[in-house]
Amino acid sequence: MDVMWILWDALLVGVPALVALWLVRVWGREHASDRIPVLCYHRLTSKADLDSGRLVDDEPVWTVLDTEFAAQLDHLQEAGYETLDLDAVMAIKRGERPAPAKGVVITFDDGYESVLRLGAPLLQARGQTAVVYALLQPDSYTTGQVEGVDRICTHDEIVALQEAGLQIGSHSMTHAILSDLPADKLKWEVETSRRELAELTGRTVDHFCIPRGGVSKAVVDAVRAAGYQTCSGRAKGTARLSDDWLELPRIAVERHHTAAAFRGLLTPRKAFVHKVLGDLRLIPTRLFGARWGRKLRSVLYGPALGWLFSPRHVKRLLLLAGAGYVLAVAHLVSRRFL
């Protein structure tokens, strides 16, 4: 019985202590001096097309209005951020060029045509740049997701993105969930996309983005073995220059973000919340693996329960859990000692 009590006490003290340590660590990371936000976008949607009814696009998350994107670029400029591509960041890390007072990296996943049509001119007009993680042979799931609203760039359009001053990275060949693939298929997705994109663009392709959350140690190892210098996946939060950029965290910019929310994402305090929420959302995948984790996540964070996990409600849930914890400890102490 005594052993059970000791174990119970250890659990009661240990689990919250670990959570507190994790929170302190994340808080410290987000307040580091060498922080550099890497923003993650997907598609852009033309506000003029929406307003005129030429386009119906009610995707709530994975797109940003072109007008909002322009305002965000203006804000970055006004706030003194220099936009860097990932080669520039690597050069800074190697000490070959000085770090700007404030640096930011803009990334686009999947390589949508809207990024070439709407995004590239906005970036060019301001002398800013971005990285596009492109797909050479997108699968039907991926092309089907945006049918009627957008499409994945053709090979010629990928070249056009580069000619517009954007940097091309790889997002695999097909957009498969890499952690589900056997070793030979994984190798093909990672290595062949690097080689064929380099042939297409005439430049080395050193930057990879793991599609659809399919992150595992084997995937990161394959990316490293293929010779990539950076790799982003599902990790959230602000990157640091001193990090290993093969596990690059990013900050997701989504359609529902207001101008104030966007400005907030660049600050340590809001980026902290973004990272904590991002990590909490990964718990199902960490506990049950990619396949079951995804199913559980779609239930937990889908339309039915998703509102519970908004920043405002998470604060309440954490407070409630904290209060419950204090009550439970008080109850146990009173039973044992009083």
Binding site for Zn ion (CB under 5 A): 109-110, 211
Start-to-end CA distance of the chain, whole Å, equals: 19
Residue nearest to Zn ion (CB): 109
Minimum gap (Å) between residue 171 Cβ and Zn ion? 5
In DSSP notation, 92-148 reads HHTTSSPPPSSEEEEEEEE-BHHIIIIIHHHHHHTT---EEEE-SS--HHHHHHTTT
Minimum gap (Å) between residue 214 Cβ and Zn ion? 10
Minimum gap (Å) between residue 50 Cβ and Zn ion? 23
Which residue, 134 or 222, has its beta carbon nearer to Zn ion?
134
Which residue, 264 or 278, has its beta carbon nearer to Zn ion?
278
Which residue, 36 or 210, has its beta carbon nearer to Zn ion?
210
Which residue, 140 or 258, has its beta carbon nearer to Zn ion?
140
Minimum gap (Å) between residue 154 Cβ and Zn ion? 17
DSSP 8-state secondary structure symbol assigned to residue 52: T
Which residue, 100 or 213, has its beta carbon nearer to Zn ion?
213
| Contact (Cβ atoms closer than 8 angstroms) between residue 187 and residue 195 | no
Helix locations, the chain, DSSP H: 2-30, 47-51, 66-78, 86-93, 113-114, 120-125, 140-145, 155-163, 183-187, 193-201, 217-225, 259-265, 268-281, 283-300, 311-337
Minimum gap (Å) between residue 209 Cβ and Zn ion? 7
Minimum gap (Å) between residue 217 Cβ and Zn ion? 20
Minimum gap (Å) between residue 157 Cβ and Zn ion? 17
Residue whose pair of structure tokens reads 């109850």 in the numeric block: 331
Q: How far apart are CA 104 and CA 126, in angstroms?
A: 14
Which residue, 215 or 276, has its beta carbon nearer to Zn ion?
215
Which residue, 29 or 216, has its beta carbon nearer to Zn ion?
216
* Nearest CA-CA partner of 116 in 76, 83, 158: 158
Q: How far apart are CA 99 and CA 318, in angstroms?
A: 37
Type of residue at 198 = A
Minimum gap (Å) between residue 111 Cβ and Zn ion? 9
Q: Point out which residues pair with 106 in neighbouring strands.
A: 39
SS3 235: strand
Q: Which residues contact 61 (CB under 8 A, 6 or more apart)?
A: 254, 255, 256
| Contact (Cβ atoms closer than 8 angstroms) between residue 130 and residue 85 | yes
Minimum gap (Å) between residue 173 Cβ and Zn ion? 12
Residue whose pair of structure tokens reads 């419950």 in the numeric block: 324
Which residue, 8 or 141, has its beta carbon nearer to Zn ion?
141
Q: How far apart are CA 253 and CA 327, in angstroms?
A: 38
Which residue, 158 or 266, has its beta carbon nearer to Zn ion?
158
